[in-house]
Structure 1
Amino acid sequence: MKALTIIQHTSSDHLGLIEDHLEARQIRFRYVRPFSAGSRVPSLGEVGDGLVLLGGGPWGTAGEQNVPTLDKELELARHCLMSNKLIIGIGLGAQILALAADGSTRATPLELRTGEGLRTIEGALNGYLPERFPYATYMRDWPVPPSYARILAKTEQGEPLIFQMGDTAFGFAFHPGFKLAIAEDLVMEFEEAPEGTADSLTQARAVSRHIEDSLVPIMTGLVQVTGLMETE
């Protein structure tokens, strides 16, 4: 049975709908909360079969409001890349992954955004990535993957939305397991909230079911590509 380590950056942002997909495949996971007293960023040897870096609400990486554990997480992400350890970055986590892989991040305001992702490589995620799919992101700053990364999908504006490096590193600039409750809890957890939050929450509510449906093929392809169901 495979086991993943999940690094949270806020109390509100978690795996969301992804939890059900992992549990159904008997893939274990444990949350690590470095922002909590007595906790810390784990070492490579403590990661298990893979590492997932989650979103961070208003925390970013481009300088205005960097997540406090950025340096430690960059070090861990680089170790995962060098050792071909599975690493998946979501939102803020995708920014950390891009930086660790010699990419960069672009400063953008905190926003809650929904839109349509557009597949750029046919056959991406073992052919399971839909040609078009809804996305939702609650994030400050945006990942800029390194030049050697494969861009699997982009936003309508042409921003990298899903990127891949080898068979073990994947960045999602959105939360593929997004639940409306995650965004609502983030608004409550922090004093800072995105502009137009009420309208954005309404838009997110309207696409929630479509996000849930699109996660089925995305998780199927991701599990196949990463070998998360393979036994030793």
Structure 2
Amino acid sequence: LPAPDKIHKACLKTGVFLYDWAWSTTLRPRFNHLNDLKGYQRKGDNVTQGKPDWHEAIDLYTPSPFGDQEGTDQVLSGHNKFPPRPVNFRSVVENWVDRMCSLGLVVMRATTMGLGLDSNQTKNLLDQVWNSFWVLQCIGYPPLPSTHDGVSCGAHKDYGCFTFLHADSTRGSLQVYVAREEGGHGQEPDCHWIEANPVEGAFVVNIGEMWETWTNRLYKATLHRVIYKSDNDRV
């Protein structure tokens, strides 16, 4: 793990940083559309800033023992729906989720060190998020049609604490909005979009709005978007 002070500076500057990790997987299953938020997401189902996004996904959330009964309308209730193929998809995903939840606690502990929290404050925070709510999306970006406006996923901020993004090797897709330099005399920093290209054996980690709120906006949530123009599919 990078030194806590390096993570601290990265969070303050851009809200996004890279975390080393060795495991890579690419999953692109297909199964029927489901009429709730868990399961398969068709192209255009996800809407950002009033425009449909050009990607498809499998959306998984923290399982709940409630809401599997017929006729229930509780949002995000019940268990996840897994595709029948590949046959090991569920076991791989559940193993991945366990690792990501553990990684989230490690990164959160490191950021508390960067913030200067003492051991009791850190313990109190980690106790509250030990069994936290999680979201996993397996997203596929097909090539944009010529009639599309050119944005695969519109500019947005994630709502949680941290998002761990593990993409394939395609470059020139994910973009992050950062300050070029600090503004003077009360002026806002000059901001622009930069590419956050994948690094082999690493994650891109976004800061979410929950962590921004908990740090009283000391750490800024990452504004990001995807503009994918290549001819092949991207995961």
The TM-score with structure 2 as length reference comes to: 0.28
> Relative CO higher for 1 or 2, CA cutoff 8 Å, sep ≥ 6?
2
Larger helix proportion of the pair: 1
The TM-score with structure 1 as length reference comes to: 0.28
